[in-house]
Chain A
Amino acid sequence: MATLQQKIAEKFLARLAKSKDVDAATIVELRTLLADNKKPKADDFVRIFSLPAGGDIK
């Protein structure tokens, strides 16, 4: 029986995958973090969401 935590993590990732604000690579990283580490730290999330730089003068 999946725990409530597992159910929430799965639904969270599925719903987030539909968001235009989060890319697929980030979802993969989040999935790994939530699967590997039951106690993710804030800095784990900071690392995952800090994407490579982009953008210029328009």
Chain B
Amino acid sequence: MIKLETAHIEEVRGIRKLDIDFQKSTFGISGPNGSGKSGVIDAIEFGLTGQIGRLTGRGTKGLSVSEHGPHVDKTKFPDAAFVELKVLLPGIGKSATITRKVSSPKKPKIVPGDEDVKAALAEVADHPEVTLSRREILRFILVEPTKRSEEIQTLLKLDEIGQTRGALNTAQNKLQAAQGTAAALVQSSRDALQLHLQIPTLLSADLLEAVNKRRKVLGLLEIAELTADTKLDAGISANDKTSDFNKKSALGDLNALAEAAKKFPELARKQAAEILAELAKLEADPALLTALQKRTLIEKGLDLVDGPECPLCDTPWEDEQHLRSHLKAKLAKSEAARKLQQSLLNNGTAITQEAIRVIGLLVPVQKLADTLGDGPFTTLLTLWKADLEALKASFATVDGLTGLKARLTTGWLGIPEAFSKRLKALTEKIEAKPDQTATLDAQTFLTTAQLRLSDYREAMRKNKAAEIALKSVKAAYDTYCNVLEDELNTLYEEVQKDFSTFYRELNGDDESKFTAKLTPSEGKLDFDVNFYERGLFPPGAYHSEGHQDGMGVCLYLALMKRLFGDRFTFALLDDVVMSVDVGHRCACRRRSACPRSPPRERPRGSRSA
């Protein structure tokens, strides 16, 4: 933290030229309205942080430091507007001068340019909350619990924590979707293997029985145990593997596809209908549609934020924190849109998994058609498979689902017109083939079994990895939330204790038994205070405005203590105790470590104390 030695202000806000010697001590400024008191606060804040709080935040649209920071007669000459501050940095035992021009607020000149000096001043620049105005002070006291929670979390720089929790949650959702896809691929490859083996269950005993029956035909050694590196076709020479076409297996694949095709029109019909109903709801409610579109855009924007410039519209913000808060506030307003978005994506995921199963049935038949030289059917199946693969991406986003409305109405699977006819023709062609010799049947059976076992193993490995990843990220997310909750509870308990102590110091004359209660819960922070031992009530219920101002100062001091610890030595307070009577105002000054309260200097133009 710092102590202010001197300030030289030129052409900033209402000040033309002013020098103040603070003597590293508490300093009070008084004067009539418009005499420039707040201008001094603005100038010092600008000198330290490059920002002017009065020109940012709610109700300041259209205001900016670059346009409204210079004196009104110098708006076209921002280079003439600057502040030079001499500060003491007790932590490193050095003094430094920082000069900041309105024309380049982010590039202050710091002398000496030592790294530790720059770091100490950068810390202050990162804490614009050292300035507290009356307008801001009540935001902690007289606001709804959700807003209070946001304000306090912003003040304590807890945004970062929220971002980490949000990123972990998003990662959890992504890994959950990935695991769902991996599981669908396991089922599809498992079905293909089991179909080929023609066994009731895929237990290793059943698998080995079917395989060893063919190995015996070929005079090969039986496989006693199925291990991770077992090759079902071991012993068959490469020369003998002239083809993996197995008539019985081929007919099994064709029949499986034909049977499944009977149910294709009903496949995921419920989910498709729900998506259509949700899309219709969006069309009927333009506000909801706009909220959803904005939500999608803002989510993308939030993910891309990497500095104070908005990635969506290039608007420069005071800092990244303000930009993030702004985008999050917009997201929070669209809860109904969020629920709809989630439902749409859940249904999209369910249909994707059905698409994976269908692809699993198409692949072996596509290969058969190719092997047997059925060009048109090969092309049909290749295009259909590619279409379904592309469809998976569309089902993963709201924009993609919106674009599929017509297809969801006519049948999302997009069954090619000639499919049934060509499937039947290929089946008849294979049925017409002479039965394979026992030897060839055994060879091709084992070759195909090995290929499908490899596919299944690969799918299993990927699914296992996806399960482990999901379990890990769930554990991490839960742990992070638990730690966060514990720490925030501790923090609020400490703030509550300090706040009560400070307030009792201020109002010891009539509220010596004052207590307060901060109760955090799911993004809210309830705040109740004891009213003359009549019970706990919201601060605005019975306490006077002067008492509420006092509470604001005490809560601010308690929060700054959490932020800086014993290093909190500097604050710019602007009219924050305006409604507090003289006696309590003195107590405020004592609490703020202000032993010499009378103002020693007035800005030019001041007329009264």
Contact = CB atoms under 8 A, between A and B. Distances in A.
Q: Do A and B come from one complex?
A: yes
Interface of A: 1, 3-5, 7-9, 11-12, 15-16, 19, 21-23, 26, 30, 34, 38-46, 49-58
A54 B465 contact: yes
B297 interface: no
B581 to A, nearest CB: 36
Nearest to A30: B476
B471 interface: yes
Contact of B567 (A1, A8, A45, A49): A1
Interface string B155-167: 0111011011011
B303 A50 contact: no
5 closest Cβ pairs, A-B complex? A55-B464, A45-B171, A42-B170, A53-B461, A21-B475
19 contacts: A4-B491, A4-B562, A8-B483, A8-B487, A9-B164, A15-B482, A16-B475, A19-B475, A21-B472, A39-B160, A42-B170, A42-B171, A42-B174, A45-B473, A46-B171, A46-B174, A49-B469, A53-B464, A57-B226
Nearest to B467: A55
A46 to B, nearest CB: 5
A26 B465 contact: no
A46 B491 CA distance: 30
A41 to B, nearest CB: 6
Given A4-B161, A38-B160, A49 B167 contact: no
B160 A5 contact: yes
Interface in B461-487: 461-466, 468-476, 479-480, 482-484, 486-487
Nearest to B174: A46
B479 A12 contact: yes
B479 A16 contact: yes
- Chain B binding surface SS class: helix
Interface centre among B157, B164, B306, by most chain A C-beta atoms within 10 angstroms, is B164
Interface in B435-466: 456-457, 460-466
B211 to A, nearest CB: 13
Given A40-B167, A49-B472, A50-B465, A4 B487 contact: yes
A56 to B, nearest CB: 4
A1 B306 CA distance: 26
A26 B472 contact: yes
Nearest to A1: B565
Nearest to B303: A41
Nearest to B564: A1
Interface in B113-168: 156-158, 160-161, 163-164, 166-168
A23 B174 CA distance: 20
B565 A49 contact: no
Nearest to A10: B483
A55 B170 contact: no
Nearest to A23: B472
Contacts of A49: 171, 175, 469-470, 472-473, 476
Contacts of A12: 476, 479-480, 483
Contacts of A11: 483, 486-487
Contacts of B171: 42-46, 49
Contacts of A54: 461, 464-465, 468
Given A16-B475, A55-B463, 4 more contacts: A1-B565, A21-B475, A34-B164, A56-B228
B38 to A, nearest CB: 31
B209 to A, nearest CB: 15
B204 interface: yes
B244 to A, nearest CB: 21
Nearest to A42: B170
Given A8-B161, A16-B475, A42-B174, A56 B483 contact: no
Given A11-B487, A57-B226, A19 B465 contact: no
A53 B179 CA distance: 13
Nearest to A27: B476
Given A5-B161, A39-B163, A49-B473, A55 B460 contact: yes
A1 B563 CA distance: 9
B175 A51 contact: no
Nearest to B487: A8
B21 to A, nearest CB: 31
A4 B227 CA distance: 51
Nearest to B466: A50
Contacts of A3: 157
A38 B464 CA distance: 31
Nearest to B471: A21
Interface in B555-572: 562, 564-565, 567
Nearest to A18: B479
B306 A39 contact: yes
A16 B481 CA distance: 12
Interface centre among B457, B468, B482, by most chain A C-beta atoms within 10 angstroms, is B468
A49 B460 CA distance: 18
Contacts of A38: 160
B126 to A, nearest CB: 11
A45 B164 CA distance: 10
Interface centre among A38, A54, A55, A57, by most chain B C-beta atoms within 10 angstroms, is A57
A34 B479 CA distance: 15
B465 A52 contact: yes
Contacts of A43: 171, 174
Interface string B200-230: 0010100000000000000000000011100
A53 B460 CA distance: 9
